[in-house]
Every structure is written in C-alpha cells, then in structure tokens.
Chain A
Amino acid sequence: MADTAKPKATGKTGSRRRAARNNADSHFNGEKPEVLLDYYRQMLLIRRFEERAAQAYTQARIGGYCHLNLGEEATIVGLMEALQERDYLFTNYREHGYAIAKGTHPREVMAELYGRSTGVSKGWGGSMHLFDARTRLLGGYGIVGGQLPLAVGAALAITYRGSDEVVMCQMGDGTTNIGAFHESLNIASLWNLPVIFVVINNFTGMGTPVERSSAEPELYKRGSAYRIEGVRVDGRDVLAVRDTATTLVERARSEHRPFLLEAFSYRMKGHSVVDPAKYRTKEEAEEALANDPIAMFEERLTEAGILTDEIKKEIAESVKAEVADAADFAENSPHPEVSTLFDYTYATPVANESRRMPADPVFAE
C-alpha cells in the first residue's frame, strides 16, 4: 500500500497544511453530516478535556506527569472509529483521549487524573495508567515500548481461542527505536497475529527530532524487516485516519497478520504540561498551531455548509458543559481509603503477604 502523504522533516509554516487540504475532499462525498459532526464533537471534547486537565494540573489538582493529546484529536477519533467494540486497545502514557473515544466516561478519566476512587483505575494508575476492562482499553503504559509485547500476547490469546478480535497498539515515534518494538513486530509477524501497531509521529520524542533518533525516519517502513506492511496517513485528517485504519483493522481480522500504521500530526504544546518546549523555534511553534486538526476540520465542515455558526455554538457549549461536569465529578469524588492499600497486591490471597505500614514492626503483636 502506498503512503497517503509525505511529510518533510522541515518546512515553512503552513506548507504541510496546504498540501493536506489539496488532497482533502472538502465536499465529503457520501459522508453523513451527523457522523461528521459527531467526529467534530468528539475531537472538540478531547481538546477541551485536555485543556481542562492542563489547568487542573497547574492548580495542583492533578499530580505526577500529565501528557496531553493536543493536536492528535483527529488521529484518535479516526482510529477508534476503525475499531469494533470487541477489539482491544493498548496505548502508551498519552492516552486520555483514547480512553474517552473508546467509551470511558470523561468523568471517570478526569477522576483518575485527580487520583479519586471513582477514577477508571480507582485512583491507582493516574494519567499514564488508564485501564477500562469494560471498553477493552487494556492499559495506558508508562514505560516506552512496554505495551507492545503485551499487545502481541493479547493477539496470541485471540488466535489461541480462534476468535476474531483485533488488537490495536498505539505508541509514539520514539518507541520505534526500542528493543521491545523489534521483538514484538518480529513475533507478531512470525505468528500471524492480528495487531495494528500505530505509531503516532509528532516528529519529536520529548525534545529530540525523529531524524536525530531514528536511522530510518520514515517510520512506516520500520516493519519491513519483519515483512509487516506499513502505511502512513495524515493524522490531522479524521476521515483519512478512519478509512486507512479501518482497512488495516479488517485486513488484520480476516488475514490474521499485523500491520504498521504511521499517523503524523503536530504537538500543539510541550511533551507534557510542564514542558514549555523552549527547544522549538518560533516558526516551529507557529507551524504546529497552523496544523491544528480541529481548526482544519472546522474549516472544511463550514465550507461544506455542515457546520453552521449555530451548530458550532451548540457543540461548543455542550462540550464545555461535559468537561465542566467531569471536573466537578472528579473534584467531588472521594480519595481512595488508606484501608484499601493492600487490596490489589495479589489477585489470589497468599499466606504471609506483608501488610506492614512504614513504621510497623515486621512482627506485629
């Protein structure tokens, strides 16, 4: 399969955006307006959710690290539209939007960021470790590359049982250089496992450009040593992502083999909330903002007469209310009880498990 777009390593502000728009079909042939508006709403929800999370972080309502999906909204919505409910998803630590788009209530995601017992991981995981057994989001993972072998194993279990779910495994561009990436792709291909490895390429691993960390910076080609077909898609275009990912997901399901999908997009802000991204030039920062997938989609929808000022306002208000509700829910939820500290060390109770607190003697009276 040919790549659908070719980003350059550097470029003048707006050049990539123009190229993408030329490829885009602003008339949305055959697309239902209500579906397009639903995508738009989902994207806006993730955007506003992340902005609210950043605010809560600076207000010290959220601790630890907080990596945001700002700029990746079209990719996320497109990818999740390609999955069936029964399909599994593994992600890295930049996964708030994925959880929401896979079906977790924004309240439960925000409550997890706040470390509350009503959070999707009951306050045990935090921003980097969202998990929802109900929606089959089998984890956000904080160690770069850690989720890949797990995703391969999930696909192995699917194959073992002869069922037809597919596993999607998301990662960042920097992950393509870690050993687990290569071991996992090799095993997935060798054993014919239905995994879609998705590389979110925002051209930067923390502050290091892809060209300075990857000897093959055309990341969709990184599966070629394992005979894994790779495709690149414009991650700013929700429909392109949806269509490309759907094709790969359904091929994985029917052909029982893995694929590698690279989706490029621009990071609107730093690596995490606390990163001011000073390593970026003014031009680079402006370029990122000029490639805002929501602004681009908004423009297309407006040009096509689908997004009127009235609808736009209506969606903006409902999204704002939903995010405010999520933050209120989180704020008003209880912290986990200290008495639950030892509830989740082991699934099978075991003799002599230590339940001592820091100042307790080893041998309790």
Chain B
Amino acid sequence: MPVITYRQALRDTLRAEMHRDENVFLMGEEIGVFEGSYKITEGLLKEFGERRVRDTPIAEEGFVGAAVGAAMLGLRPVVEIMTINFSLLALDQIVNHAAKIYGMFGGQNSVPMVIRTPGGGGQQLGATHSQNVELYYAFVPGLKVVAPSTPADAAALLRAAIRDDDPVLFLENLGLYNTKGEVPDEEVVGEIGRAAVVREGTDITLVGYSRMAMIATQVADRLAEEGISVEVVDLRSLRPLDRETIVNSVKKTGCAVVAEDDWLTYGIGAEIAASIQEGAFDYLDAPVRRVAMAEVPLPYAKPLENAALPSAESVTTVIYETLRAVGRRVG
C-alpha cells in the first residue's frame, strides 16, 4: 500500500470523486487560484476549471448557505471553510438550515453536502484561530460529523461523506495534514457512525478522535514497551456516536480515559464519560478521566500554548493515575 500524507489522501479523494460524479464541485475561500490555505485543493482548479473549483468571497454565511441551496437542487458541493473558527460565521446556515431542511419539510428535500474544515491549536495562531468547536455541530441532529485521524480514514470517510445524502461536517486538523500513513489503492467507502478499535488492549480503554486519536495510538505504542496494554478507540464519527464500541471496550478493560482537543466542560469527553457510566457502570473500577484543553482562550506565547494543550505526556500521566486507582503499579 502506498504511504501518503493526510493532505494527499484528501486531495486524491476529492479528485477521484469529482471525476466520478459531475455533480460534485468545490467551493471555498482561496481554494482555486491560491490552491487552498493548507493546499488541500492544489492543482484542482487547473484540472477541473472554475465551474467546479469555485473561489468564494469572504462570506461564510453566504457561501455555505449557497452550498446548501445548490445541494437542495441535487448538486453535491464540498465546501472548504478555512478553519473551523470561521464556521461560526455560518452557524445559522449550518445549524438552522442544512441540518433542518430534510426534517422540517417532511423529508421532501435532502441536503447532500460536505463541509471540510480543520480545527486545532498548537500553531501559535492565538485565541480566535485555535479552537476545537466541533461539539457545536456534533450536538445537532440532522448533521453528521466525522473526524478521521489517519490518511486512510480521511480518504474513506471523505468518500462516504460526499456520497451521503445528508450534510456532513468533515473535521480535519492542522496537526494532521502532514502525517503519513498507508492508504489502500482500492476505493474504500468508510462507514459514518462507527468507531474503531485501532489498538487492542486489556488494561485500559483510551478514547480519542482526530489529532488526539493519533496521539492515543502513539501513547499506546509507547506504554506497550512498559507492559501496559492500552486499547485505543478512535471515534471517527462524532454524530452519530458509536457508544457501543466504547462501552464494549470498557467492559473488557474496566477503566477509561478520554483524550480530546476541545475544552473539558460540556465537551465531547463529557458525553463519552456519561455514556460509559450508563453502559458499563458495573464494570468500572475507576472514575472515567478526561484529558482536555485548559479552559482559557488559547494564548499566543509558546510556553503558554504548550501548557494549555493536551499532549502525549498529559495523556500518559492520566493513564498512569487511572491505573494506579485500580491498583496497578505503574509509571
């Protein structure tokens, strides 16, 4: 299998889907001539032309809403929002329109569109450019939210999202674009709504998504050297949420840690912890712990930014603490 970057996996998939289906087209700020802020759409304007790779004005509400309207007429727009922070300007169109149109009108009109957007801090971009607000969208019935962590998953889930008849928010992460992994040559269509056990283990369940799922596998690999067997669940999909896979893992290990890049209070991890206590109460040997961003507007200065963000070290610390709580001698 070829080893390519997450970025390349996205670009290859967009390109293949555009060749496959004439109704698929791209919209977003600076995706054409500039080839994308993060170069995901590099070369696509040259290959497909302006009709199918459409540069938009800086008007998130306007162009995201236009994508919703185009989808209502049967096109399959794939919108790039430069970062998830800017998606807040389109919140009304995403939450009040894209997510509602199918249900509110009694199933008469679906909205087959994809919103691709990266979250993520750690690039010294300051408070307004470093947020992880995927929860806002994962909260809303009618939307589907996926958050792949590997190049193979990125390709498979983007393919699934484009072919799906519902609005899908496709979460990327600035820290993942340059990561590499094997991507199969054959066309794999991922399944929205399913998590995956990406490392099997017996001592503790570690749940993550997007960048933190990548960190989770790194932590699991390192702890294996210490004889600690970590089972890693990569959520892949935030809505629907695959609670069953999480709970089945916890029933096996008896304890769990959630690693998330968003803020802890009311965050994705809160929902997972609540699900675990309801679905695996009798199996739990320790409280479910969460590793999440410090609850501050993320500062610019590097030492402050580093301190605020979850990392392999902070995840490792919390795993040790949880294992000690169940009586293991670790660390």
A352:B241 contact, CB within 8 angstroms: yes
- Residue of B71, B74, B194, B275 near A362 (CB, 8 A) is B275
Spell out B's residues near A (CB within 8 Å): 25, 51, 56-57, 59, 61-75, 77, 92-93, 96-97, 101-112, 141-142, 144, 164-166, 191-194, 237, 240-244, 247, 274-275, 278-279
Nearest residue in A to B74 (C-beta to C-beta)?
A: A157
- Chain B nearest CB from A9 CB (Å) reads 31
- Chain A nearest CB from B287 CB (Å) reads 18
Nearest residue in A to B60 (C-beta to C-beta)?
A: A183
A347:B166 contact, CB within 8 angstroms: yes
A187:B92 contact, CB within 8 angstroms: no
Partner-contacting stretch, out of A21-29, A120-128, A259-267: A120-128
| Number of residues of chain A lying within 8 A (CB) of chain B | 49
- Residue of A123, A129, A150, A352 near B65 (CB, 8 A) is A150
Supposing A138-B109, A157-B69 touch, asked if A180 and B61 sit within 8 A by C-beta, the answer is: yes
A220 within 8 A of B: no
17 A-B residue pairs with CB within 8 Å: A125-B106, A131-B109, A139-B105, A143-B92, A149-B97, A150-B97, A153-B72, A154-B73, A158-B73, A183-B63, A184-B65, A186-B59, A346-B142, A347-B107, A348-B164, A350-B144, A362-B279
Supposing A351-B194, A351-B240 touch, asked if A124 and B61 sit within 8 A by C-beta, the answer is: no
Across chains A and B, which 9 residue pairs bring their CB atoms closest together, nearest first? A149-B65, A153-B69, A183-B62, A122-B106, A351-B193, A347-B110, A131-B105, A153-B66, A157-B73
Q: Which residues of B contact A125 (CB under 8 A)?
A: 104-106
- Chain A nearest CB from B192 CB (Å) reads 5
A78 within 8 A of B: no
- Residue of A138, A156, A344 near B66 (CB, 8 A) is A156
Nearest residue in A to B105 (C-beta to C-beta)?
A: A131
A335 and B59 CA atoms in complex are apart in Å by 41
**Given contact pairs A125-B104, A350-B240, a sample of 12 additional A-B residue pairs in the complex whose CB atoms are under 8 Å apart:** A121-B104, A124-B103, A124-B106, A131-B104, A131-B109, A132-B108, A149-B93, A153-B70, A157-B69, A158-B73, A184-B62, A348-B165
Spell out A's residues near B (CB within 8 Å): 88, 119, 121-125, 129, 131-133, 138-139, 141, 143, 146, 148-158, 160, 179-180, 183-184, 186-187, 190, 343-348, 350-354, 361-363
Nearest residue in B to A132 (C-beta to C-beta)?
A: B108
A131 and B105 CA atoms in complex are apart in Å by 6
Q: Which residues of A contact B103 (CB under 8 A)?
A: 124, 344-345
- Residue of B62, B68, B243, B274 near A187 (CB, 8 A) is B62
Q: Which residues of B contact A179 (CB under 8 A)?
A: 61
